[in-house]
Every structure is written in structure tokens, then in C-alpha cells.
Amino acid sequence: MTQGRGRLLGKSAVITGAAFGIGRATALVFAREGARLVVTDIQREPLLALADELRQAGADVEAVVGDVSIESDARQMIAAATEGFGRLDVLVANAGTIPLGDVLEMTAGEWDEVMAIDGRGMFLTCKFAIEAMLPTGGGAIVCLSSISGLAGQKRQAAYGPAKFIATGLTKHLAVEWADRGIRVNAVAPGTIRTERVMRLPEEPGGSEYLAAIESMHPMGRIGEPAEVASAIVFLASDDASFITGAVLPVDGGYLAQ
């Protein structure tokens, strides 16, 4: 593992949805920057494989398998940090699901699922993280919003509104807890080369959708998970000590249009 600058040296961090994509990339860069990690996901085997990889690279890491939308699971994810490392300094609220479809295609069940994970799950993990950070003087939370949480997009009838929740939660929590030493920011990725995005060509109309999305990013390409992870580590670190309530686009210029 390439050595980082130690921007998170000794800090205790929880990263949800860490098994794949942006969460996995974030865990790797956090480890390089010296963080002690709790990585969580609902998918056991890939999560445990990630934890083994991080340990072999010298990181202090614990894996917690669970569902952020279940209150007891979310509480245990945060407790793993406070019990294992004595405190919580950083939460990366990344866990989410990305169903594609317009309002006619989306079912009520799909709406409920995305709101449970992307909305309720983020609320719960932030709630318990703030509860854990208060006794030790504060910390940093980075939520995963999206360009879909700042602007409308086609075929995002459930996912987009869920990401508006992420954007709103970030701003409200930032104001609510700034005077207690807790910073709350978000990143708003454009389309990123995650495992989910790479499966799009297997779905009806997926190849055409992906090509259209790529062309809408002024840089002419989609992003890489590591590019989002770099923004997350900045917001989580003391380099961003006077930044709270910000939603940072990592989108190749998409929202600048």
C-alpha cells in the first residue's frame, strides 16, 4: 500500500458501504493516511476480504457486517469504533443503493428500499456518530450525496430524491453541531466507475444511458472511485478545519453547466 501523508494519523473512522466502489476506495486511502478503521457493509464476504487486505497492508481495522437501515446494526457500527478504538473521529456515510427508473417504472417497494438505505441509514449512522463524537470534543462526518442530490436527472425518480436527503441532512446537521466541534460535509459525485455503473450495459438501455451520461460530463469521461475518495479524505481531515455544510461536487464539471 502506497504511504500517504498521514492526514488521518491515529484517527478512528467508520466507513459504511465499504465493500465496493467509492466506499472501498475510501477505505484504502484512509488506511494510507493512517486512520484506524471500522469498515461496514451488508455483503459479508467482500467486506471481510477488504478487511484482510487492509490488515496485510498494516492497517488497524475491524469489519462489521450489517444494514445501515436497521437501527441496532447502525448503532453497532459506531459502537465498534468507540469500543475498539476508544473514540470516533470520522464517519463516512457512504452506504446506498442506486435503482434506475423513471417515476412510472419505480415501484413503491423500490422507493421504500432506497429511502430506507440512502435516507434512513444515513440519518441513523449520523445520529449515532454525533452521539459518539460529542463526549470527545467533535469530529468530522462526510455524507455521500450526488449530482442527483443537487440537480434533476432522468431515470432517478427514487435515487435522486434520496440524495436530496443527503444534501439536506448535511446542511442541517452542520449548522446544528458546528458549535460543538462537529463538521458535516458531503461530496456530490458525478457518474463514477463503480461496480454498479459497470453493470449498466447488462440492463435494457443501459449502454445507451451510460454513453449519454458520459457525454454530459464536460471532461468527457466518468470518474474513478479513487477521485471521490481523495475529496472525502480532504473533508475528513484537519486540512478542512474551517469547512462545514459544504457539498463538494466531484463531477468532471457536470454541475457547472
User: So which residues are the catalytic ones?
Assistant: 159
DSSP letters spanning 29-69: HHHHTT-EEEEEES-HHHHHHHHHHHHHTT--EEEEE--TT
Are 99 and 114 spatial neighbours (Cβ–Cβ below 8 Å)? yes
Are 67 and 59 spatial neighbours (Cβ–Cβ below 8 Å)? no
- What does the alpha-carbon distance between residue 242 and residue 240 come to, in Å, rounded to a whole number? 6
Q: What is the CB neighbour count within 10 angstroms for residue 98? A: 18
Are 195 and 203 spatial neighbours (Cβ–Cβ below 8 Å)? no
C-alpha to C-alpha distances, 31 to 2, 26, 117, nearest whole angstrom? 10, 8, 25
Are 122 and 69 spatial neighbours (Cβ–Cβ below 8 Å)? no
